[in-house]
Amino acid sequence: MKGFTLVEMIISLLLFLVVSLGLLYAFSTYNRLQVKNLLRHTATELALKKASQAHLGNCTAEEVDYYPRGFSQPLKFHLDCQRTLLYASKKDRTYRVEITVTWQYRTKNYTYTLATLTVENL
């Protein structure tokens, strides 16, 4: 007799199904982690831009829409900026600037905070 029996075919198909489901899960996990890393990187860049604006004295809260590739809806990033005077002299002032970026992805809230010091010459 040549060929496979029905039992051998069913076992090989089940094995193929288990391996395929494992690969599908691995690919979906990889994709989800890639998107989370992209959003965290975007939050970092937004915080750095806001820090450079705060250095010039513009420290206000704002909302930013971001359109990731493959998304049908934009993601909203909320930027909050706090500028606190630490030290003042006749020559300069030192401020502590804290930028907090918050966003939501898959019903979970994420936060990134950047703190820096800026010196303003008088």
Could you please report the per-residue DSSP string of the chain?
A: --S--HHHHHHHHHHHHHHHHHHHHHHHHHHHHHHHHHHHHHHHHHHHHHHHHHHTT----EEEEE--TT-SSPEEEEEEEEEEEEEE-SSEEEEEEEEEEEEEETTEEEEEEEEEEEEEE-
The domain limits of the chain are 6-121
The pLDDT score that the predictor gives to residue 1 is 64
The pLDDT score that the predictor gives to residue 120 is 85
Q: Structure pTM?
A: 0.77
The tens-digit pLDDT sequence of the chain (122 residues) is 677 888 999 999 999 999 999 999 999 999 989 989 999 999 999 999 999 888 888 889 999 998 877 788 889 999 999 999 999 999 999 999 999 999 998 899 999 999 999 888 88
* Alpha-carbon span 73 to 56, nearest angstrom: 33
The pLDDT score that the predictor gives to residue 44 is 95
